[in-house]
Amino acid sequence: MSSWKRQLVTSALLDQYKLPYQKSWFKDTNNNETIRSWYEYNRDYLGYRLAVKDISYQVNLTNYGMAAPVLINKAELAY
């Protein structure tokens, strides 16, 4: 395991082996390129590493008025 800490990994190498990773994993908190090791890759990617791709909201509406309900198949919020 100590040798994994010294062996560096690059995005090109991960692409070559078709291994999953997030592009941002090679950036530090200041958005600068950073160097990673195989140890870090196994630590961070062995198991689940979930990321939000899309966010959607579901709203359940109740009509308390006297008008007949209107059928709505899809609603979208605009801002």
Give the Cβ contact number of residue 9 at 10 Å. 21
- Read off the pLDDT of residues 5-38 as tens digits, 9 standing for 90 and up: 999 999 999 999 999 999 999 999 999 999 999 9
Q: What is the pLDDT of residue 69?
A: 60
Distance CA 65, CA 28 (A): 54
C-alpha 73, offset from chain centre = 29
pTM: 0.61
- Read off the pLDDT of residues 46-78 as tens digits, 9 standing for 90 and up: 877 777 788 887 777 666 665 666 666 666 666
Ramachandran angles phi, psi of 27, nearest 5°: -120, 145
